Amino acid sequence: MPDARDIDYTDGDTALRGLLLPAAVTDAGAVLLVHDAFGLGGFSLEVAFRLQAEGHTVFAVDMWGDRRTPAPDEISGLIGAMVGDRAAWTRRISAGYAAALAQPEIDGSRLAALGYCFGGATVLELARSGAALRAAVTVHAGLDLLDPTAPWAPPATGRVLVCAGAEDPMSTPTQWRALRENLDRAGIDWELDLYGGAVHAFTNPALADSPRPETAAYHPKAARRSWASTLDLLGEVLGA
């Protein structure tokens, strides 16, 4: 594989450091990857390298700055600051989107976005802002972070795939319906995959022995199925 490289960019006064993983072939489609609440490390980096191995160029954004990987007790404050200022939230992910488009390995006409947990909600915010994406894929997104009344810009994003645990307290039936209605109003082609028995963060093996299994826990079957659905859609819209 070609060498990975750090990409420094900014959002106002905040220094951000993304990671570019070029594909082995020069004409590959690209994936904008948005990390979960724990930042661009560990689990999110594993996903990035798996996507590269599948034949995609990957640009992994940094939402917290300086590639910070916050401690658990810092996360609610970081997410709360984003949700409390949606314009700042959109500006932060838009900075990552612009940094991705500036890379010579990335063809902006063949770009999809993928996010997990907080990153899944962030991907939906990017798509809602009117970003030109072939597809937006969310896996156990925090749908509770979204404003169900916020209008979508004209649908530059072609497809939306939502992979959700049927028992996820951060992604409830009321929230699925609100998102579905919003996507319908925007004229976006959407798919909702629900996994029985799965709660939040079901793809993360670090939660195999979760201290709060009713809230967040690894679910191997849901993890496999959501990965297969993600690769299927990315292959359809980007090629491999």
pLDDT in tens, 68-99: 999 999 999 999 999 999 999 999 999 999 99
Instruction: Give every residue of the chain whose pLDDT is below 70, as ranges.
Output: 1, 240
What pLDDT does residue 148 have?
A: 85
The pLDDT tens digits for 211-221 are 999 999 999 99
Cβ atoms of 185 and 154 within 8 Å: the answer is: no
Residue 201's nearest CA partner among 16, 32, 42, 66 is 42
What amino acid occupies position 135?
A: A
Rounded CA separation 203/194 (Å): 13
Q: Residue 26: its pLDDT value, please?
A: 81
pLDDT at 240: 60
Residues 6+ apart with CB under 8 A from 89: 82, 83, 122, 125
The token duo for 231 is 């690769």
- Closest-CA residue to 54 (of 236, 191, 237, 235): 235
Q: Is 75 exposed, middle or buried (0-12, 13-18, 19+ CB in 10 A)?
A: middle
Q: What is the set of domains in the chain, with CATH numbers?
A: 5-238 (3.40.50.1820)
